Structure 1
Amino acid sequence: MSRILYIVRHAKAEDRAIFMADHDRELTSEGIIAAARMGRYLRDQDVRPDVIISSTAFRAKDTAKVLAEQLSYDPAQIRLSPDLFDGGPKAYMAAVNALADDTSSAMIVGHNPDVSYFAEFLTHENVGSMSKGAVIAVSFEDLTWAEISSRTGSITFRIAPKQLPGEK
């Protein structure tokens, strides 16, 4: 069975302020718009994740919600994982390895540099630094989610908000 994982970096968030915890930073209006455009693009590409997992940070949760709405996925079904906030790539791997075998596609929404490192770990391809709101699709052939590990996937596509059709 073929499986696909959509790795998403949260969209643009407000700058960190002295009085605000990093976890509580919210999306800017520009970030909300970019996430909605990305969601519409993904929907037009027939992306239909069975599961969406997100960090509990406001900016990641909000990105996941906007994407879910565009993809006709019930936002109330988004799985929140506190480990994805500052948990490192190991936390992302644990979330993926725990997915049910009947899941064929999943989306995970988190933070840089972890999402970039995670994509590189899975594919052994040079991803660099994912831009805000970017999505990398990684496919896996004939593996269960529990069997996925280093160098087992290949990048199917990658796209950033600035690359969307109609963007300057």
Structure 2
Amino acid sequence: MKKTLILVRHATAEDQSFRIKDFDRNLNSKGLSESLAMGKWLVREGVKPDIFVSSPASRAIKTAEIIAGQYKLSVDAIETQSGIYDGGPRAYLQAVTTVSENHSVLMLFGHNPDITYFAEYLSGASLGSMKKGSVAIIEFKNQKWEEISAKTGDLVLYKTPKQVREEDE
């Protein structure tokens, strides 16, 4: 059975400062707008995640909440996994390989540089650096979640908020 992984880098957040811990940085107005645009675009494109998993950091969970809202889902539907925040690509892999086989489309919200490394690791594609709020969709044919590893997926789409805004103009 085909599995689809939708990787979402959190949208633009407030700048880091000595007053705010990195973990607690929130989305700024640009990030709120990016999240909303990407959520609307995903719904319009017919992308239908059946499980949402996010880093618990404020900017990632808020991005997830806004996008889930476009699917008319409650914020309670979003699972958080602490390792996604600072556990490196291995934590991303664990988040994917432990998903129940009842799900076929996983949307995972995280941070650079790990989310870019992870997308490249799974697909063998070269993304450079995922832009804030961008989405990478990777498909895996005839695999279980637990079997996913290096270069087992195909990058089928990479889309940035800027590209979505330009299409909407």
TM-score by length of 1: 0.97
| Partner of residue 101, structure 1 | 101
Q: Distance in 1 between matches of 2:115 and 2:80?
A: 16
| Partner of residue 32, structure 1 | 32
Offset at 1:75?
Answer: 1.7
Q: Does 1:113 align with 2:132?
A: no
Offset at 1:72?
Answer: 2.5
Structure 2: give runs of 5+ residues left out of the alignment: none
Q: Distance in 2 between matches of 1:41 and 1:19?
A: 34
Q: Does 1:5 align with 2:20?
A: no
SS of the aligned residue for 2:53 comes to strand
| Partner of residue 63, structure 2 | 63
| Partner of residue 80, structure 2 | 80
Query: What count of residue pairs does the alignment treat as equivalent?
Result: 167
Structure 1: give runs of 5+ residues left out of the alignment: none
User: Residue by residue, what CA displacement relative to the aligned partner does 1:17-49 show, whole Å, maximum 9, x if unpaired?
Assistant: 112100000000110011001000000011111
Runs of 4+ in structure 1 off by over 3 angstroms are none
Q: Does 1:19 align with 2:38?
A: no
User: Residue by residue, what CA displacement relative to the aligned partner does 1:119-142 show, whole Å, maximum 9, x if unpaired?
Assistant: 000001111100000000000000
Offset at 1:77?
Answer: 1.1
| 8 Å Cα contact 1:60/1:111 also seen in 2 | yes
Identity of aligned residues (%): 41
Letter in 1 for 2:99: L
Q: Distance in 2 between matches of 1:72 and 1:89?
A: 30
User: Residue by residue, what CA displacement relative to the aligned partner does 1:45-90 show, whole Å, maximum 9, x if unpaired?
Assistant: 1111110000010000000000000122322110011111111000
